């Protein structure tokens, strides 16, 4: 009987020890999770509440993006943002996409000092966006320029003939749905497209002349589609200084009175996790881990389709988009 009592006492002690370690393990796991949330979500985003310089990345193919425009409006309303760096690494994209961002940045410049920093490449619509700033910085070997507008279309008439397919159309007018892909473009259709491209090109050149303080003749000379390295662009007054982000920050401090040593914080269109309730932060981070495991193969598959094939309308792009796909 005494042995049974001793065994019962030992069992209760063991149970208490196991319970203690279970609770301790749970608390440690909870602290690690909370610490991870603070590190990944809190530290960077909380700094947006204090004085800083906003970095706006413009990377890859430029398209009209409503979230980007909303973000620029939000930056304009933020008292914590003391200056803005538009960090460009893009060959261009849709002309309307560049126009929308250019106009939004010009509006933002009424509230915040803006400087543009072009990295590996800043051409066509990418350079258009750079001109929204009051100061443009580029590296010596930054590729820029390619000022102009492009409208491309294909013709598959020979291919359709090869496979025995013919196309016919009934139109309300000769220029309706021109050009098509199954017959050669008529002179009238080409003239229509040329007029459209010329109108857009003249608009681009006028912005160049105004924003870079160039004579119209000089602006037209530089807007012949040529690309230039940063150093030559400096000589042609397309940029204002050679350097990187530190040069852009220095200009904000010396010319616009922005306080020294402010942190430079990247603003993106992704949701700010700090604005979510704590429970949502936890579920978001856990869900993201599972989601990445499932969706990553699908993201890889998206790369099989070139973004060049998905651009509609007038295009302001230099034909080397892969150069801007590599982010620093």
Q: What are the beta bridge partners of residue 302?
A: none
Q: Which uninterrupted H or E stretch holds 103?
A: helix 95-108
Q: What is the length of the chain?
A: 328
Q: Looking at residue 17, what is its pLDDT?
A: 63
What pLDDT was estimated at residue 59?
96
CB 105 within 8 A of CB 136: no
What pLDDT is attached to residue 328? 45
Q: Which residues belong to the active site? A: 124, 176
CATH topology of domain 149-213: peptide peptidase (sppa) fold (3.40.1750)
**Rounded Cα–Cα distance for residues 171 and 149 (Å):** 28
CATH superfamily of 51-148+225-324: 2-enoyl-CoA Hydratase; Chain A, domain 1 (3.90.226.10)
Say what the pTM is. 0.74
Which residues sit opposite 86 in a β-bridge? 56, 116
Give yes or no for a contact between 53 and 256, defined as CB atoms under 8 angstroms apart. no
For 174: left if phi > 0, alpha if psi spans -120 to 50, otherwise beta; the answer is: alpha
Report how far apart, in Å, the C-alpha atoms of 38 and of each of 49, 152, 226, 277 are: 15, 49, 48, 13
pLDDT of residue 300: 56
pLDDT per residue rounded down to tens, the chain (328 residues): 555 666 665 666 666 666 666 666 767 676 666 655 555 544 444 468 899 999 999 999 999 899 999 999 999 999 999 999 999 999 999 999 999 999 999 999 999 999 999 999 999 999 999 999 999 999 999 999 999 999 988 889 899 889 999 888 899 999 999 999 889 999 999 999 999 999 999 999 999 999 999 999 999 999 999 999 999 999 999 999 999 999 999 999 999 999 999 999 999 987 555 444 445 555 555 555 545 554 555 455 545 445 544 455 666 666 544 444 544 4
Q: According to the model, what pLDDT value does residue 290 have? A: 45
């Amino acid at each position: 009987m005494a042995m049974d009592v001793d065994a019962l006492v030992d069992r209760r002690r063991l149970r208490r020890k196991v319970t203690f370690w279970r609770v301790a393990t749970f608390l440690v796991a909870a602290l690690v999770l909370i610490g991870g949330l603070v590190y990944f979500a809190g530290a960077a985003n909380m700094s947006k509440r204090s004085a800083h310089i906003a970095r706006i990345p413009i990377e890859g193919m430029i398209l009209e993006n409503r979230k980007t425009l909303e973000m620029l409006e939000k930056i304009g309303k933020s008292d914590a943002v003391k200056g803005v760096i538009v960090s460009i690494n893009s060959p261009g994209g849709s002309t309307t996409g560049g126009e929308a961002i250019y106009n939004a940045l010009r509006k933002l410049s009424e509230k915040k000092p803006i400087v543009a920093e072009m990295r590996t490449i800043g051409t066509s619509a990418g350079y258009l966006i750079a001109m929204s700033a009051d100061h443009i910085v580029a590296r010596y070997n930054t590729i820029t320029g390619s000022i102009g507008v492009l409208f491309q279309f294909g013709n598959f008439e020979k291919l359709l003939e090869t496979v025995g397919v013919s196309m016919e159309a009934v139109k309300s007018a000769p220029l309706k749905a021109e050009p098509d892909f199954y017959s050669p473009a008529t002179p009238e259709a080409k003239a229509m497209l040329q007029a459209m491209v010329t109108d857009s090109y003249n608009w681009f050149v006028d912005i160049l002349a105004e924003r870079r303080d160039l004579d119209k003749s000089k602006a037209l000379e530089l807007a012949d589609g040529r690309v230039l390295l940063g150093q030559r662009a400096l000589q042609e007054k397309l940029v204002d200084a050679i350097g990187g982000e530190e040069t852009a920050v220095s200009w904000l401090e010396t010319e616009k009175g922005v306080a020294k040593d402010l942190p430079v914080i990247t603003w993106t269109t992704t949701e700010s996790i700090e604005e979510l309730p704590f429970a949502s932060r936890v579920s978001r981070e856990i869900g993201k881990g599972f989601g990445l495991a499932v969706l990553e193969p699908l993201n890889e598959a998206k790369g099989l389709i070139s973004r060049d094939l998905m651009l509609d309308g007038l295009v302001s792009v230099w034909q080397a988009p892969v150069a801007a796909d590599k982010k620093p």
